[in-house]
Amino acid sequence: MTIDPKDLDHHHRGTLTEHLGVRFVEATLERVVAEVDITDQLRTVGGRLHGGTLMALADIVGATATFLNLPPGTTTTTLESKTNFFTAGREGVVRAETTPLHRGRKTMVWQTRLTDESGRLLAMTVQTQMVLEA
């Protein structure tokens, strides 16, 4: 099942997702991909992409992937998130691609690869989403 990324962009209007400039580019039940442009507002004083931007981007795609996989009458919240940083992003576009490690009735675990335009791995996040009764 393929989901229209524009529907996801619309769903996130008025949230941190829109504020960061995140745009969804692909979405299925097995994979969600989003991108963000590295802008001055997302940099550290030293000129590198802020790690918090990467963590927020990973959380957004992991939570969105969970949302797409939720059973009726449930919602989700992030229970745990761990990010390893490998190198700094400086220019261009960051791409976040998340895939499931586990999709259970009470939790879902997603792994998100954050890369630059050349495909260089900037960071890797593993997050656990709790499935909650609405």
pLDDT at 76: 97
pTM of the model: 0.96
We find that the CATH architecture of domain 5-133 is Roll (3.10)
Alpha helical stretches, state H, the chain = 5-11, 16-20, 51-69
So where are the chain's domains? Answer: 5-133
The torsion of the CA quartet 41, 83, 3, 42, rounded to 10 degrees, works out to: 0
pLDDT at 97: 98
pLDDT at 66: 98
pLDDT at 134: 83
Task: Going residue by residue through the chain, which has 134 residues, state the pLDDT in tens, using 9 for 90 and above.
Answer: 889 999 999 999 999 999 999 999 999 999 999 999 999 999 999 999 999 999 999 999 999 999 999 999 999 999 999 999 999 999 999 999 999 999 999 999 999 999 999 999 999 999 999 999 98
The DSSP H or E segment spanning 88 is none
Rounded-to-integer distance, Cα 128 and Cα 131, Å: 10
Q: Which residues contact 14 (CB under 8 A, 6 or more apart)?
A: none
